[in-house]
Structure 1
Amino acid sequence: MNLPEERGRAVALVALCLFYLAAGIIHLLSPSVFVSVTPPWVPDASLVVRATGLCEIAGAFGLLIARTRKLAGVMLALYALCVFPANIMHAVHDLSTGTGLGWAYHYPRLFVQPLICWWALWAAGVVGGSRGKDI
């Protein structure tokens, strides 16, 4: 791998760590914001929201440790996939009621979810040029 790619991957890794660390802290400090957009079929939404906050924080730290980086990247990609129903519900609720955030927020948010999955996999070295190598 070339030096610019290594630097780009390192920057992406740090940014992803900060993103998930911040998200995890927000999930723990303000769970009601997330409970309100959790699909009704999720049992004990408040507990699930707090658990996801802990998972985000664990994933962020897991990315920083070379030994756990790839596993953390895979788990965070799967996590981003699993929370997609909540993102859809949030968009449907806001757009159908005319309350909350509009298309300017929800349209990019829904379409960037696959990018977040890829970002976790690429930054962790699961996909791309550094497979088998630690950053």
Structure 2
Amino acid sequence: MSQTNTVDRSIYQTGLRILLGAFLVFAGAGHLTWHRTEFLAQVPTWLPINADLVVLLSGVVEITLGLSLLFLKSKQVQVGWVVALFFVLIFPGNISQYMNGISAFGLDTDRARLIRLFFQPVLVLWALWSCGSWQDFQAKRKS
């Protein structure tokens, strides 16, 4: 890959990492304040923990992960894996919202809730690519 392509990719990765970090901080703040009720709709009923506690704790985790994406540049590869894992771990909440037909965040039809499920893998890939986590994994595999 040429030096120009590497620099371009780095600029895009950095920009998308910052955008994802800001998104997580914003979403985490929403967990703790104005969107708390909406996030309650995504907590699976089978989870043996108080749903409001889950919303509050996941909000704190999202803020922490978002700030890590924004400020832990030296650890971005590891942060990318942790953020990707977080998106995988919260996916059952999205599935529960779809399976139980719970409306929240404007997702008021089965079709809208189903389409939303396909965006979770995009978030996982976004975290891995924007932090260079996937590229690091590939490079270590080749060596």
Range of TM-score over shorter length: 0.7 to 0.9
Structure 2 partner of 1:35 = 40
Judging changes above 3 Å, is the alpha-carbon distance between structure 1 residues 56 and 103 closer, same or farther for their aligned structure 2 residues?
same
Q: Partners of 2:54 and 2:109 in 1: how far apart?
A: 26
Deviation at 1:106, TM superposition (A): 1.8
The answer as to whether partners of 2:29 and 2:59 remain within 8 angstroms in 1 is yes
Cα root mean square deviation, aligned: 2.5
Structure 2 partner of 1:101 = 108
Aligned match of 1:123 in 94, 113, 130? Answer: 130
Deviation at 1:66, TM superposition (A): 1.4
Gaps of 5+ in 2: none
The answer as to whether partners of 1:125 and 1:131 remain within 8 angstroms in 2 is no
Q: Please tell me whether residue 62 in structure 1 is matched to residue 68 in structure 2.
A: yes
Judging changes above 3 Å, is the alpha-carbon distance between structure 1 residues 58 and 127 closer, same or farther for their aligned structure 2 residues?
same
Deviation at 1:117, TM superposition (A): 0.7
Structure 2 partner of 1:73 = 80
Structure 2 partner of 1:49 = 55
Deviates more, 1:65-74 or 1:81-90: 65-74
Secondary structure of 2:134 counterpart: coil
1:8 alignment partner AA: Y
- Percent identical pairs in the alignment equals 27
Structure 2 partner of 1:18 = 22
Q: Partners of 2:87 and 2:114 in 1: how far apart?
A: 16
Gaps of 5+ in 1: none
Secondary structure of 1:128 counterpart: helix
| Runs ≥4 residues deviating over 6 A | 129-132
Secondary structure of 2:133 counterpart: coil
Q: TM-score scaled to structure 1, two decimals?
A: 0.83
